[in-house]
Amino acid sequence: MNNIIQDLFGLQNKTAIVTGGAMGIGKGIAGRLALAGASVLIADIVSEQEAAPTLDGIRQQGGKVAYIQADLSNTALLPGIVKAAVDTFGDLDILVNNAGIFKYMPITELNEDLWDKTLNLNLKAVAFLSKAFINTLIEKKHGGKIINISSIDSLKPTGNLAQYDASKGGVRMLTRSFAKEAGKYGITVNDIAPGGVNTPGVQKIAGDNLPKEQLEAMQAQTAQFIQTLPLQRIGEPDDIGNAALFLAGKASDYITGSTIVVDGGLLLM
């Protein structure tokens, strides 16, 4: 039985790129893939020093990880990220497009700068890093896995997040479009739609510029909301990492163009 599980979910001799992997959801994904045996290149905008807790944590568990600092919204840098993975680890098999930004903004105040920043990172970078990944695998004559991180907002939009919702809806459709074309190269393309996840980024945005009274009220509302979820808890980065591990391994070889919703039952509400 152990050999079967290892064959289906083990990632020995596989190489993965995880964007936005220095913290939050990306950290959970990178950690899970490394624990399963993959060599992981994390690409993120923060410095390597800022990413050190994640890198050290993976290495302490015996994982293989490297880091490249890059602004993924600059498409000129994306082929270099793919090359760095191949140069560092010798091959490439898995791409996790996780990097993204979101900021609350009512449509009455929506501006082009926020729109462009959000779409460039959340959608454009996904398309062009995936293109570089696919072309590299075609050259190497083997298949692979693309895992895009969309959002529950691609299925159930949230107020004051029009630009984010549009970008994540785009990721869902991009996943299907790429899956339709990439299958003939042995490459599967799927996305994961997280619900609320407990990450430093969400905590920071929730607390930005809020008076103490408003912050406490928001925290109380959040706690009440969590109790209404069928699973009665907020998601954790490892929950998303578990779904990514499934999509990265052989167990998901006949799945492509699909969305795995990891939301604690939010869509049921």
How far apart (Å, rounded) are the C-alpha atoms in residues 89 and 44? 18
Q: Which residues are catalytic, by number?
A: 164
Residue 203's Cβ-count burial label (10 Å; 0-12, 13-18, 19+) is exposed
Q: How far is CA 61 from CA 31, 39, 58, in A?
A: 9, 13, 5
Pairing of strands 39-44, 15-19: parallel
Q: How many residues does the chain have?
A: 269
Instruction: Give the Cβ contact number of residue 47 at 10 Å.
Output: 11
- Say if CB 249 and CB 9 are below 8 A apart: yes
Q: Which residues contact 235 (CB under 8 A, 6 or more apart)?
A: 194, 195, 196, 197, 198, 262, 263, 264
- Say if CB 260 and CB 192 are below 8 A apart: yes
Q: Which residues contact 95 (CB under 8 A, 6 or more apart)?
A: 16, 17, 129, 130, 133, 144, 145, 146, 147
How far apart (Å, rounded) are the C-alpha atoms in residues 35 and 72? 25
How far apart (Å, rounded) are the C-alpha atoms in residues 162 and 151? 13
